[in-house]
Amino acid sequence: MGYTIAQKIIKSHLVSGEMKTGSEIGLKIDQTLTQDATGTMAYLQLEAMGCDRVKTELSVAYIDHNTLQAGFENADDHRYIQTVAKKHGVRFSRPGNGICHQVHLERFGAPGKTLIGSDSHTPTAGGIGMLGMGAGGLDVAVAMGGGEYYITMPKMIRINLVGKLPDYVGAKDIILEVLRLLGVKGGVGAIVEYAGEGVKTLSVPQRATITNMGAELGATSSIFPSDEVTREFLRAEGREDVYVPLQSDSDAEYDDEYTIDISKLTPLAACPHSPDNVRPVSSLSGMKIDQVCIGSCTNSSMLDMLTVAAMLKGKTVHPDVSLSISPGSKQVYNMLAECGALADLIAAGARILECACGPCIGMGFSPKSKGVSLRTFNRNFLARSGTADAEVYLVSPETAAASAINGVFTDPTTLGEAPRVEIPKQFTVNDNLIEMPASMDAADAVLVERGPNIKPIPKGEAPAEDLSLKLVLKVGDNITTDHIMPAGTKVLPYRSNVPKLSEFCFTVCDKDFPKRARELGGGIILGGQNYGQGSSREHAALVPLYLGIRAVVAKSFARIHVANLINFGIVPLVLECEDDYEKISQGDDLYIKSFRKAVADSDSATIINRTNGARIGVKLNFTKRQREILLAGGMLNFTKQKNS
Ligand code: MIC
Ligand code: SF4
């Protein structure tokens, strides 16, 4: 039997385990990336593990999330990351150089290689035929130290693309269609591969829009073949030398297969508050809008920006609409300036932001109360924009630009002839904002600067003999990491300060949660399906740990989050029978006899609800490695014990 693209990359990077769907495998990681909102923790952990020099082929530290610098906190973190990167052999992408995924695609991504990043949208690299996966900072630190990255061997989903996109329909509409088909849980435990004739019609940035938002399917990764289009992109970046062709074998087997005729697609929008709540733009036409934001790692390439500039040229943004544009990288920004398209955007009245995550992570540009905001981003989770009652719709740059001009939701296909946009054959390459690390000899002399915002990482604890704790919070299905640990201007500056962050934990769902958890000295959380979807932020585990959470019970968990819980010694327990969710209420006294023993060697345990007498079965489906980590009270303790 032949191999899929992903299986080929996995096979050539397999260090441990068997390539059997559902079993744990350990992979050699060629490249890593971090960003500043997760990076401080990752490097603190690298230091705590005693690793002097990274062992990967390439590791890059980006500054792109926390660039507002409303106080000293972000700037402190930037300087810490800059100095720690220099000392440990990591390249540093300075603030102003762009969004990690966009820059990585442009300057470092390579077909056939593996990449993990402390950001859930790391699969963007799949647009160039690279196996990119999002991970918690601790897993990235381990990979930087030369350790394997463990995943569950994914199943393979193939999506055949047929035809060619019509005018005004973008790559974003393809991935929105996939989200409509599969839903936010549809990719869990899977790698999504794109194939078929339609693939050839899509440029690398378009492919990257699709693989980027594969994160919203819950997929482990998404990937395109590496072909002549890939080679052309790499040539334009002056990096043709890293090109290798990569296709699936004709007899490769897939677990699921879908076909999308992209020539029949119409503009789509993901409606509040979930990326899979997809409807045709035509059904929303005429709805009054207040804001449009164009950018983010999903839609900020030269192609996206040129398309928007061509649509805005000679027009004025509607008086009731505020339009922000953030190009994805300095390269894109520079080229927009060089070709004059930037002038068209400015003239139309767009508010041009720096090339960073910006409004996507709630760093400014929050909509007005009950505001309707159209965004070319990838997530429209409740309150992520910074305005709790805002209605955020995820759309393509084409729909965004058309609507910004008209002041109402506008289907761009109604606008007449589409502008023809050509991306340059050669990109402007200037890596002057990427700082090289110190040489081995000079590394000792580099002083790592730690500002007062950087606080120690909370320590995990080994599981108690018997677990006896209260249910401190009960939440529903599809709880995102933005619910658990919100972001935005007020919170993000404290990503290196867990005690301060804890004041915001779960406040989107229940503003009293931090106080209650503190008063009770911690407890257990109960969730529904897909608990912890969204971001890779390990703060969604670290902060509950700090508040004394020892276990989370749920109907099911999202991949990266469950790994983060285990890494920090919080035991994830899966309900054997989903209906038992009803048998536990907030405030109940829960008891698991011989809890520690169950973590050590049992696949199941029974929670006794001492408040109502119910007995609830839970599964502990852990590998031997995961049990050892949990018993040690988390990965850092585990690594220390192993090394002592
Ligand atoms: C996001 O899009 O939610 C983020 C911010 O990029 C996160 C990382 C973080 O929380 O720092 C992600 O996607 O992993
Ligand atoms: Fe940044 Fe938004 Fe992309 Fe996350 S999804 S990396 S916040 S641009």
34 lines ligand 1 (CB under 6 A): no
- For 506-557, what is each residue's pLDDT tens digit? 999 999 999 999 999 999 999 999 999 999 999 999 999 999 999 999 999 9
Atom of ligand 2 nearest to the CA of 100: 6
To test the pocket of ligand 2, the residue of 357, 482, 489, 537 to mutate (highest count of ligand atoms within 8 Å of its CB) is 357
pLDDT band at 640 (very low <50, low <70, confident <90, very high): confident
pLDDT recorded at residue 641 = 84
pLDDT on residue 8: 98
Whole-number average pLDDT of the chain: 97
Residue 96 CA to residue 90 CA, distance in Å, equals 18
Residue 443 lies in a domain: no
Domain presence at residue 386: yes
Is residue 332 left, alpha or beta, with left meaning phi > 0 and alpha meaning psi from -120 to 50? alpha
Please measure the distance between the N-terminal and C-terminal CA atoms of the chain and give it in whole angstroms: 45
Nearest CA to ligand 1 atom 7: 535
99 lines ligand 2 (CB under 6 A): yes
Work out the percent of the chain whose per-residue pLDDT is above 90. 98
Residues 521 and 617 in one domain: yes
Is residue 310 assigned to a domain?
A: yes
User: Are both 340 and 234 inside the same structural domain?
Assistant: no
121 lines ligand 2 (CB under 6 A): yes
With tokens 């980027």, the residue in question is 212
Is it the case that residue 643 has pLDDT exceeding 90? no
Domain match, 257 and 366 both: no
Judging by beta carbons within 10 Å of its beta carbon (0-12, 13-18, 19+), is residue 417 exposed, middle or buried?
Answer: exposed
User: Which residues make Cβ contacts (< 8 Å) with residue 508, sequence separation at least 6?
Assistant: 382, 383, 388, 482, 483, 486
Residue 358, helix vs strand vs coil: helix
Domain count, the chain: 3
Q: Is residue 435 part of a domain?
A: no
Average pLDDT over residues 429-455: 96
Whether 429 is covered by a domain: the verdict is no
> 191 and 272, same structural domain?
no
> Which ligand is in closest contact with the Cα of 501?
1
- 626, 583: one domain: yes
Q: Give tens-digit pLDDT for 75-111.
A: 999 999 999 999 999 999 999 999 999 999 999 999 9
CB of residue 402 inside a 6 A radius of ligand 1 = no
Separation of alpha carbons 153 and 11, rounded Å? 11
What does the block give as tokens for 294?
């164009």
| Closest-CA residue to 303 (of 269, 322, 328) | 328
Q: How far apart are CA 376 and CA 381, in angstroms?
A: 14
The pLDDT value recorded for residue 513 is 98
Host domain of residue 484: 467-643
User: Does the pLDDT value for residue 1 go beyond 90?
Assistant: no
Residue at which a domain ends, from 246, 264, 282? 264
Is 421 inside any structural domain?
Answer: no
Site to probe by mutation for ligand 2, drawn from 34, 60, 65 as the one with most ligand atoms within 8 Å of Cβ, is 65
Answer for the pair 7, 156: CB distance below 8 angstroms, yes or no: yes
Which residue type is seen at 219?
Answer: A
524-546: burial string, b at 16+ Cβ within 10 Å, e else: bbbbbbbbbbbbbbbbbbbbbbb
Mean pLDDT over residues 609-623, rounded? Answer: 97
Angular region, 204: left φ>0, alpha ψ -120 to 50, beta rest: alpha
Ligand nearest to the CA of 543: 1
Q: Identify the domain boundary among 215, 246, 264.
A: 264
Q: For residue 448, how far is its CA from the centre of ligand 2 (angstroms)?
A: 27
**64 found inside a domain:** yes
**How far does the centroid of ligand 1 lie from the alpha carbon of residue 162, in Å?**
32
CATH number at residue 576: 3.20.19.10
Place of tokens 């019609």: 201
**Predicted local distance difference test score (pLDDT) of residue 644:** 72
- So what's the pLDDT on residue 229? 98
Ligand 1 center to residue 119 CA distance, Å?
A: 5
Atom of ligand 2 nearest to the CA of 295: 8
Residue 537 Cβ < 6 Å to ligand 1? yes
Are the C-beta atoms of 554 and 527 separated by less than 8 Å?
Answer: yes
Which residue among 211, 236, 264 closes a domain? Answer: 264
Best probe residue, ligand 1, of 481, 482, 496 (max atoms within 8 Å of C-beta)? 481
* One domain, residues 162 and 123: yes
The Å distance, Cα 109 to ligand 2 centre, comes to: 18
Residue 642 pLDDT level (bands cut at 50, 70, 90): confident
Query: Could you give the CA distance from residue 278 to residue 300 in angstroms, rounded to a whole number?
Result: 21
What's the pLDDT score for residue 44? 95
| Ligand 2 pocket mutation, candidates 34, 377, 381, 384, criterion most atoms within 8 A of CB | 377
Confirm or reject: Cβ of 37 under 6 Å from ligand 1.
Answer: yes
> Distance between CA 480 and CA 275 in Å, rounded?
12
Domain shared by 167 and 189, yes or no: yes
The angle formed by the CA atoms of residues 32, 136 and 155, to the nearest 5 degrees, is 85
Where residue 368 falls among pLDDT bands split at 50, 70, 90?
Answer: very high
273 and 255, same domain (yes or no): no
Q: Which atom of ligand 2 is nearest to the CA of 296?
A: 8
**Ligand 1 pocket: which of 537, 542, 543, 559 to mutate (most atoms within 8 A of CB):** 537
Query: Residues 243-263: what's their mean pLDDT?
Result: 98
Same domain, 579 and 620: yes
pLDDT at residue 630 is higher than 80: yes
Residues 228 and 292 in one domain: no
Within this chain, do residues 143 and 102 fall inside the same structural domain, yes or no? yes
Q: Which helix (H) or strand (E) holds 194?
A: strand 190-195
Ligand 1 centroid, distance to 507 Cα (angstroms) = 18
Q: What is the pLDDT of residue 22?
A: 96
Residue 423 belongs to some domain of the structure: no
- Beta carbons of 359 and 461 less than 8 angstroms apart: no
We report the CATH number of the domain holding residue 285 as 3.30.499.10
Eight-state DSSP code of residue 616: E
570 & 627 share domain: yes
